[in-house]
A and B are shown apart, each in its own frame.
Chain A
Amino acid sequence: MTIEKYLYPYITQEEEYEKGDTIIKEGSKGDWVYIILEGLVKIKKMTLKGQITIAPLTEGEIFGEATLWQAGQGATRNVSIVAETKTRVGLLDTALLLKEYESISPRLKSLISSLIQRLTITTQKAVRLATE
């Protein structure tokens, strides 16, 4: 998957991780949004039966966006992201993204926040099923 050209101006910084490195730690605070420029990561979640893998993410995919819409409210990360291979990620400019988000209509805003909420609910459900 190639990275869409219009995304580059939003990348403020790049970071590199080795296989096994934790990029985002579940429970930590933060509102950076990441895009995978190269490599593969896994979404992981802590459960009563230990940490389980929920899904892999690859080049061009975004993670960390769930807390963006609550930026500045001290939201915590609800999953961990761990590098599965050597991985290069881009950090997107949160302030710029929020400015763009503010420009959209209230209807679209409620649509996006509903999507984030739905993703959280479905993830919780999958985790519950996987560990029951």
Chain B
Amino acid sequence: MNSNETKDEELAIVRLKYKKGDLIIKEGDYGVSIYKIIEGLVSIFTEADNAVIPLATIGQGAVLGETIFLNDKNMMERRSSSARALEDTLVEVWHPRLLRMEYEQMPPVIRYLADQTLTHIGRMNKLVVKLTDQKIKQREHQREVDPWAAKRRYYRKRVNLPFLCTPLYSSSKSTMKGLIKDISLGGAGLEIRPILSPVFPYRLGEEFLISTTLPNDRNLEFSCRLVSIKEGKSRDTRILGVSFIELSEHSAKNLGFFLMP
């Protein structure tokens, strides 16, 4: 047995299990360990002005708490963000001393690249915090001005677009026609006129494929889920709320340009 192995044994790699919801790292705490996710899902977040700001969601193979290790000058540093298990999570705990020798042997140029990436992550985290903060303030302002609009995540535009709609999984494969009355990047409001059946044949949660042409002559195709059914102005019409499940890159682009104020 050589000395390296002895060292590894002294600082044996430990595996720890965290339950869904457990805090793995707490922002502001002093910590030395680095964790590699073996199984599970973890949210990295920070707190500013009493608001939780998610920075990233990471899974199997990703490493947590690495900033401490890469900070060469001080191995004992406060954690710059928190980490919480979003699912039951298994991690491998690395003691930094275990990595110390490997780190010292690392070519300086690679260390430089890693430090640069770390600096860029730090900058992006700050940007995310700043933008989230702006969003929160914007929403608060909107809520004061227009309580209804603030509930919506996306800007919604009123339209009158004929569409064709095919249910994705229903046994009935008949096509429905109607008008898209409003649309945003998240979903749409549809008006349909059931032709014969007095009972609306679809239930909440059902999925549809819808195609239409935007006023700027661009095609739009999306899959969506039925989230609300209301009676329209006349008794045989229904107003359906759908949220997008999938929007092709092409369609998202067309819709994005159309929705630009």
Contacts and interface: CB of A to CB of B under 8 A. Distances in A.
- Say if A and B assemble together: yes
Interface of A: 4, 6-7, 10, 33, 48-49, 54-55, 61-62, 65, 68, 92, 97, 100-101, 103-105, 107-108, 110-119, 121-123, 125-126, 129-130, 132
Interface stretch (B17-25, B104-112, B195-203, B210-218): B104-112
Contacts of A33: 113
A55 B117 CA distance: 13
A111 B69 contact: yes
B112 A62 contact: yes
A68 B117 CA distance: 12
A100 B110 contact: yes
Interface in B106-162: 106-110, 112-114, 116-121, 123-125, 127-128, 131-132, 135, 153-154
Given A122-B125, A123-B124, A130 B131 contact: yes
A65 B111 CA distance: 12
A62 B118 CA distance: 12
B256 A118 contact: no
A130 B62 CA distance: 26
Given A62-B112, A117-B62, A107 B94 contact: yes
A62 B116 contact: yes
Interface string B170-207: 00000000000000010000000000000000000000
B113 A48 contact: no
Interface stretch (B51-59, B227-235, B236-244): B51-59
Interface-central residue, B34, B55, B124, by most chain A CB under 10 Å: B124
B36 interface: yes
A7 B112 contact: yes
Contacts of B58: 114, 117-118, 121
A109 to B, nearest CB: 10
Main secondary structure of the interface of A (DSSP, over half): helix
Main secondary structure of the interface of B (DSSP, over half): helix
B28 interface: no
Contacts of A112: 110, 113-114, 117
B66 interface: yes
Contacts of B135: 129, 132
A104 B116 contact: no
Given A65-B116, A129-B135, A132-B135, A114 B62 contact: yes
Given A65-B117, A111-B69, A122-B124, A4 B112 contact: yes
Contacts of A115: 63, 66, 114, 117-118, 121
B154 A97 contact: no
A105 B102 contact: yes
B212 to A, nearest CB: 18
